[in-house]
Structure 1
Amino acid sequence: MEQLESPTQPVEQTGFAALGLPARILQAVEAQGYEEPSPVQARCIPALMDGRDVLGQAQTGTGKTAAFALPLLARLSRKERKPQILVLTPTRELAIQVAEAFERYASKMSGFRVLPIYGGQSYTPQLRGLERGVHVVVGTPGRVMDHLRRGSLQLDGLRTLVLDEADEMLKMGFLEDVQWILEHVPDAKQTALFSATMPPAVQRIAEDHLNNPEVVKIQAKSRPADTIRQRVLRVHGPHKLEALTRVLEAEPTEGVIAFVRTKNQAAEVADALEARGLSAAALSGDVTQANREKIVDKLRSGRIDIVVATDVAARGLDVERISHVVNYDMPMDAETYVHRIGRTGRAGRTGEAILFVKPKEQRTLRMFEKSVGAPMEPMRLPTAEDLSAGRVERFRARVAESLEAKDLPFFEELVESMLAEQDGESEGEATLSPVKLAAALARMAQADAPLQAQPEAPRHQGRRDQIEWDEHQGNQGVRGSKKFDRGGRADRFEDRGPARERGPRPKREVRPPERGMERFRIQVGYQDGAAPGPIVGAICNEAGLEGRHIGRIEIYDRYATVDLPSGMPEEIFERLQRTRVNNRALRLSKERGPSHTPAKFPAKKQKRVEAEPAPQERLHEAREEATEARQPMTNRERFEAGL
């Protein structure tokens, strides 16, 4: 008799897969460590996938970028190498951040191209990128207008327009620019507007330019409990494990949860902590339910102290003894952050929340601070003295616990016999004191884990090879992103480091400047956190030079020297006197020493390929420069823009 096959039950999809995203997008999402969509993503992705307009009201840090980037990438045609998606952002920082997000989410899409365009950057790389062809353009309103007027940005193939942080764009004076752009893009397009608030001007734009939109309104979760102390530790990515180890050794912890982004990281970090003598376990999607229960039970009973977990695996984890939550990896949005740190500070107990922040995550930190309603307390990386103090405190606690042990009488008799034997054998010699014997036993017990941490070699605050980074240098990596900005001469300078880090320095041969160059001294050095990149950027911006016109840079502890073309006009010299790097004036002066025959100082108009921006273009660029710091454009800035 022929057997009939039983129908297979369809596998129920969960997470991002349930939203209808294609496999190539899901793979990229998984690589980022995202397992469950946030509320705004769960609502927006299906609507945008269906081609509908979306009006989203959600606070900063709720995952808006992925909410529109993922579905728009899913509908993108890579064969057509012309702008199909245009995203308008209020600041160049956000433009770069959104462009980088598109690139990450499209990591499995070969041939994909995205280009950020914003004021303050040379037109040349932007024109070159547009000429080669891109699929997505992310830009600030002023520079987008300029390219549309030039004809360098063609939107005949545009499918979707996204207005990100619309209320911020209007606050910064871009209302007319946004309206102009809306009037010059194709009518048959999909439009998505995201805004934290809905002032009348934003509502009018939505009514005039959105067609029967899907309205998504997400209420931000409540702020963290007052019993949680929130701190931020600025740390370079490669040194996060070292920083975590120091924090765990120096802090008076009980139970600790360290959140990471992926399950592979959970296993790697937990293994590394175990290898360093800390009791840790990984909790991720790869852990079976039985093992999960064992790990949680060990954490609850104190048999392990540290759990390294992903967000999904930590769901439902409620252990009273959690004293610290460490955000080893930055959470994807503010709601996730609040949810993570809510696992400490419960039932009237105080808790500690520590957030590791890499230089490129400084803007995300500000978003989180805005969401929680208060700045986070800066945290200093524990020193060798802090580590020693923490180890001694834990040793004292173990000794106090041992004093309550049931088998203590046996060891008391053993010690007494050792003291008696020593007294009988040491006639005429110093007797063995109980203190000395206790010290010897303590040393034996800690032979593999010394209580005294080795002192560190002195490090300078401005050095980039150290674990921490200075918050005042945090934004330099944004505009200087190697992914999008043209590498300048600064990339080729040698970073010598401060003198005290290298020990006594032999007298260095001072080489004269090259022909046609003069040497100048600036009053910014390593002690001020100076580095070649910011120096080059400041001089190029103020003097109208290109990086190739700047010669050798030598950075010392209290000052630096830089070789510039001879014949500098007086007005540029005075301007550079007032120019600031790391909030310190350069106070430019000619360095004494040999120089060569003067050459003509390069004029500002010596920029290749570029045409002089029209007055209206200079207005937009000057406005973006002024509003970048959330300040209205001053009359002086208008004058310098030639208006």
Structure 2
Amino acid sequence: VNQRDPQILVLAPTRELAIQVAEAFHKYAKHIKGFNVLPIYGGQEYGGQIRSLKRGVHAVVGTPGRVMDHIRKGTLNLDGLKTLVLDEADEMLRMGFIDDVEWILEQTPKTRQIALFSATMPTQVRRIATAHLTNPAEITIKMKTATANLIRQRFWPVSGMHKLDALTRILEAETFDGMIIFVRTRIATVEVAEKLSARGFAASALNGDIPQAQRERTVDQLKKGKLDILVATDVAARGLDVERISHVVNYDIPHDTEAYIHRIGRTGRAGREGDAILFVAPRERRMLNAIERATSKKIELMELPSTELINDKRIAQFKQAIADTLATEDLGLFKHLVEQYQNEHNVPAIEIASALAKLVQGDSPLLLQHKPVPRADKAWESRGNDQPRTRDRGKGSERSERPQRPRKDAPPEKGMQRFRIEVGHIHKVMPGNIVGAIANEANIDAQNIGRINIFDDHSTIDLPADMPEDIYAGLKKVWVAGQTLNISREGEAPKAPSKRSPARRGDDDRGRVFEDSKPGKGPKSSRDAGDKPVKKSKPGVKAREREREKAAAKAKAKTATSKAKKTKEAGKAKKKANGKPSL
């Protein structure tokens, strides 16, 4: 305790996790007099951190970037370090911090002890463990123990209803204390939180664009019960440890199973039971199966609450609000006013009460209009009996029973408009790549993306006709299969595609831009929409014909130019011979 230089250094991937670990240090060391711990992370002023380090601290908990800054400035002395902890090493790898971690490891004394914690063990994390740990003991917690026993996992197949409406029904029907709703992008956190707030829920966004002080206030409000719902990205919610979180909703399905495990780990903590709900679009069924394999548990199919159930709950809440007001409020003045109005206008008290209730309710209807809740189709219900496809269809071929596929030249459906995008078969693109890129970058729900027709060197796609211009402009710059979409409305001439390499954005809430010298290569986060490296391939028949036509037109133009030049020169020579000056 008398040593002034840090003896323990904990590296954490996010500011929130660094704060949580520092709070845990305070809790565990409350009986050790004079013990000091300091969290250091970006977003705070250097001055306060430097003053605390000069006064002396026993443990430092920090994010890799800020720890490196202090080491380089000479304000963090690691000569007396005895223990180094790498917390959530796989997340630091995913966020691109692994090189920073190795640099920090090289600055520490060889005599320090290292502890590494990781939810998964990717190759690079295991390589670090092998290189820097001495005869380490590996302790593994079985996935089944970690998730299956305490957390009830359910999924809702996205079909026939907007995700926000489905989420609203779930929030009204489920009994929950605190909740985290996970979305993919920072923009989505704000949009979903604002829409939920407008529907009467105590919700707030949590993402990397929000100032650190505001983020800390938001988490504190959740802990104290002043806030019930956080809408967050994976990174912003990393390390959150709030006991009252009873539910986790995966509004957007995660990109990998590790992210799912981390997400649902926000609930079911400290021996409490938790609920995890997953929204799954038809194209995301493979990820659902992968999650089930990773967690060693079958995820239940969830039916949305019916209109009748929601209305029953709303009526019960309405009656309870009346009972609570009658029991706790001084109603003397209002009784007098109602009685006065009744005598003056000869209106029954029941009608006055009804008018007051309508006044309080406002324009928002108390009850939902009756709409049948879409049920999961048989394909979802019989997931467990999926059989591999075979070439042998048997005698009773099902081909004739299937609905005929729409022709490629069929017009768009009502409310949709057809667009052209400059990516096609020669770029090895698949419909899922296009849907994923547009859904992620433009925040357009996959169910609002219409027919996709893929041709040799381009494709067409049907999108909402009322798509905002800013989203349309943004889609021009989206990259798929190593190509910019360069989207244009069908019939318009597309602009020449950019020859510049893409500035890849892994929208994982870090605000970092990855730039590559070659299209199609980059961090994994930039390829989540199927943007894989493109292999060189031979152009299609139509593409070759177009190239030949271009070459012929170019040669014809060159011949015409040469002929015109010769004619002009002959004219000049003739005028000169006649004694006339040439102009």
Q: TM-score range by the shorter chain?
A: 0.3 to 0.5
When normalised by structure 1's length, the TM-score is 0.38
Larger radius of gyration: 2
Tell me which of the two structures has the higher relative contact order, counting C-alpha pairs closer than 8 angstroms and 6 or more residues apart.
1
